[in-house]
């Protein structure tokens, strides 16, 4: 019980891919750098506080990254909101996404709009740990299964395709 109240230091640099609209031919390799602390206070909301930088997405390097509140935790997988805000007043949100990750940040799935990379707002963008499309899909399937195939998980089972 004592360990739950101590923040866990996170210092991770991991290979990932950026996928647009679940298309294997759209992948771009990237690196995700996470530095901070995972807080799990007893009887309070858990959260991550620190930096979450995604190579190739400039806003993650220059805009303020707010803490990630963990809104749901299931079978060792956390679900939260990853968002960045402008460093210039009035500090409007520049990017918002849903993120799934394990406590070690070894498996990550970020779901957002393709506008993060200048694409169409209605298109989906996934940033997933792995070095290729197949590994990313494996990560997503592993997270989904461990999270109990939750209806909130994106992409839905069977939606990832190689076309």
Model confidence pLDDT, tens digit, residues 139-150: 998 998 888 866
Q: Are 37 and 74 in contact (CB under 8 A)?
A: no
The predicted model scores a pTM of: 0.84
Confidence of residue 152 (pLDDT cuts 50, 70, 90): low
Q: Are 151 and 12 in contact (CB under 8 A)?
A: no
Rounded Cα gap, residues 81 and 66, in angstroms:
9
Determine the pLDDT at residue 128.
Answer: 94
Confidence of residue 21 (pLDDT cuts 50, 70, 90): confident
Rounded Cα gap, residues 154 and 132, in angstroms:
18
Percent of the chain topping pLDDT 90: 42
| Range among 1-10, 34-43, 108-117 with highest mean pLDDT value | 34-43
* Cα distances (Å, whole numbers) of residue 130 to 8, 51, 61, 73, 140: 24, 20, 21, 22, 10
| Range among 2-6, 11-15, 65-69 with highest mean pLDDT value | 11-15
| The two three-digit tokens of residue 159, written as one number | 């939606």
Q: Are 79 and 72 in contact (CB under 8 A)?
A: yes
Please list the helix, strand and coil fractions of the chain in percent, rounded to the nearest 5, in that order.
20, 45, 35
Confidence of residue 82 (pLDDT cuts 50, 70, 90): confident
């Amino acid at each position: 019980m004592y360990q739950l109240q101590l923040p866990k230091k996170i210092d991770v640099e991991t290979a990932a891919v950026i996928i647009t609209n679940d298309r294997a031919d759209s992948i771009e390799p990237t690196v995700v750098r996470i530095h901070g602390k995972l807080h799990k206070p007893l009887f309070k909301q858990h959260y991550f506080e620190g930096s979450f930088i995604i190579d190739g997405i400039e806003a993650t390097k220059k805009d303020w990254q707010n803490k990630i509140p963990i809104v749901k935790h299931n079978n060792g997988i956390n679900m939260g909101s990853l968002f960045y805000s402008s460093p210039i007043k009035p500090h409007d949100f520049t990017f918002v996404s849903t993120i799934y990750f394990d406590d070690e940040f070894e498996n990550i799935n970020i779901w957002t709009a393709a506008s993060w990379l200048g694409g169409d707002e209605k298109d989906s963008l996934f940033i997933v740990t792995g070095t290729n499309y197949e590994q990313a899909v494996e990560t997503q399937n592993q997270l989904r299964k461990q999270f109990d195939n939750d209806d909130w998980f994106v992409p839905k089972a069977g939606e990832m395709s190689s076309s």
